[in-house]
Amino acid sequence: MAEALRTILEHHDNPPQYETETLAALSYARAFETETVWILCNAGGPVEEGYIGGSGIWMPLKGKVGGCKTVGVELAVVDVDLEVLKVSHMRPIKLME
């Protein structure tokens, strides 16, 4: 499957960070949809070997709150404020009162 997708992508011009940006957008969408903290751990390593990195932590109403900054092997420790989840669960009418 991965090889078939790579073949398809090679025939289209994509920005250099296409795959990483797609993972980030989908991770934020999933955090917002599920009203949870979404953590993505993606393998990091040399780009020449096919690694794309992109590991991170996303929260509803905040977006990406931390994660790895490079494609290489990296460890990130992130402090997450879960109070945001209480607000994300509220109905819009309650927020306006």
Q: The pTM is what?
A: 0.75
pLDDT in tens, 72-91: 888 999 999 998 888 877 76
What does the H/E/C string look like for the chain? CHHHHHHHHHCCCCCCCHHHHHHHHHHHHHHHHHCCCEEECCCCCCHHHCCCCCCEEEECCCEEEEECCCCCCCCCCCCCCCHHHHHHHCCHHHHHC
Average pLDDT value for residue range 12-20? 78
Count: domains in the chain: 1
Q: What is the pLDDT of residues 19-72, one digit of tens each?
A: 888 899 999 999 999 999 999 998 888 888 888 888 999 999 999 999 988 888
User: Which pair of structure tokens corresponds to residue 21?
Assistant: 């940006």
